[in-house]
Amino acid sequence: MGGSLAMALRPFTLHLTIVDRDPETRAACAELADFVTDSFAAGVRDASLVILAVPARAIVQLLQELPIVRPDGCAVMDIGSTKTEICRVMADLPPQFESIGGHPMCGKEISGFGAADADLYRGQTFVLCDHAGTTAVLRETAVQLITHIGANPIHLPPQTHDRLVAAISHLPYLASALLMRTAAAMEDNRAWTVSASGFRDTSRISGSDPQMMIDILLTNKTAVLDQLAQFQKMLTAVSTHLQNEDEPALRVWLTQAQSEHQHYKEIKTGS
């Protein structure tokens, strides 16, 4: 995500610094950036805008370090997958810092700079979360940045963001992982041979980096647990219909899902 953002922003920046602890990543992006370092302090020393593109708990840690390594202050933005805790820490920064939370609603199940794509954000929704430390100037700067990379900004309160993404991002990952583990538990490789696009598409995000997903799930635990409870309620209902061979109830349940999917497509495509 960070590499894709750096690629997308490069044409619009006078100076680009990339900070990364991995020497292979630093070597790979050497020609992209004006300055590449493994030192957070060196990377933010003269930056007018710092964008934190690491897992959510690492973002919190870096925000806590920022007043020490950059005591004169700067503008800060992040692209972490959860927002409530990050925005709380941002709001507690000293007054010389202005900050705004961000989350681009896109990505890949593979990670690393080798997977970076300058067009990753094009046409995608990019959530911005204001808080007490967000200024009108920074809000406008963030909107301009998002527009430059071809994304579509939307403003949400941090808690609303976390509640929504628990349902449309974090729960789907768990459902995908459950599907993969259930199929694998058969211990019959013929399942993979006969699988088709339905299994491929539904199981795709189970290939996401586990450590990244652990970070996301733990920083949005309450909202994810709420959605898991709702999921279990729905699963129990359809299981009961099937167990009872209640065809009318099963038809109503599945028809409602089909109708809701059509509504989703209409809202998403604007048609």
What CATH superfamily classification does 161-269 receive?
A: 6-phosphogluconate dehydrogenase C-terminal like domain (1.10.3660.10)
| Nearest one of 187, 153, 150, 176 to 231, comparing CA atoms | 176
Kindly report the number of other CB atoms within 10 A of residue 176's CB atom.
19
Confidence of residue 268 (pLDDT cuts 50, 70, 90): confident
Contact status, residue 127 vs residue 11, Cβ threshold 8 Å:
no
In this predicted structure, the answer to whether residue 115 has a pLDDT above a threshold of 90 is: no
Measure Cα distances from 163 to 10, 52, 84, 142, 158 in Å.
33, 22, 10, 23, 9
What is residue 110's predicted lDDT score, i.e. its pLDDT? Answer: 64
Average pLDDT score, the chain: 94
Residues 6+ away with beta carbon under 8 Å from 98: 73, 75, 76, 133, 134, 135, 137, 138
Which CATH code for domain 2-156?
Answer: 3.40.50.720
Q: For 29-65, how does the pLDDT look when each residue is reduced to its tens digit (9 = 90+)? A: 999 999 999 999 999 999 999 999 999 999 999 999 9
CA torsion, points 6, 11, 14, 19, in degrees to nearest 10? Answer: 10
**Residue given tokens 């409870």 in the structure block:** 229
| Nearest one of 128, 179, 132, 178 to 157, comparing CA atoms | 128
Q: For 59-114, how does the pLDDT look when each residue is reduced to its tens digit (9 = 90+)? A: 999 999 999 999 999 999 999 999 999 999 999 999 999 999 999 998 766 666 77
Kindly report the number of other CB atoms within 10 A of residue 223's CB atom.
21
Burial track 98-126 (b if 16+ CB lie within 10 A, e otherwise): bbbbbbbbbbbeeeebeebebebbeebeb
| Nearest one of 148, 135, 102 to 1, comparing CA atoms | 102
Contact status, residue 146 vs residue 120, Cβ threshold 8 Å:
no
Q: Where exactly are the structural domains of the chain?
A: 2-156, 161-269
One-letter amino acid at 118 equals: A
Name the 3-class secondary structure at 72.
coil
Q: For 132-190, how does the pLDDT look when each residue is reduced to its tens digit (9 = 90+)? A: 999 999 999 999 999 999 999 999 999 999 999 999 999 999 999 999 999 999 999 99
Distance CA 8, CA 11 (A): 7
Q: Strands of the chain (E only): list them.
A: 17-19, 35-37, 49-52, 75-78, 98-104, 125-129, 152-155
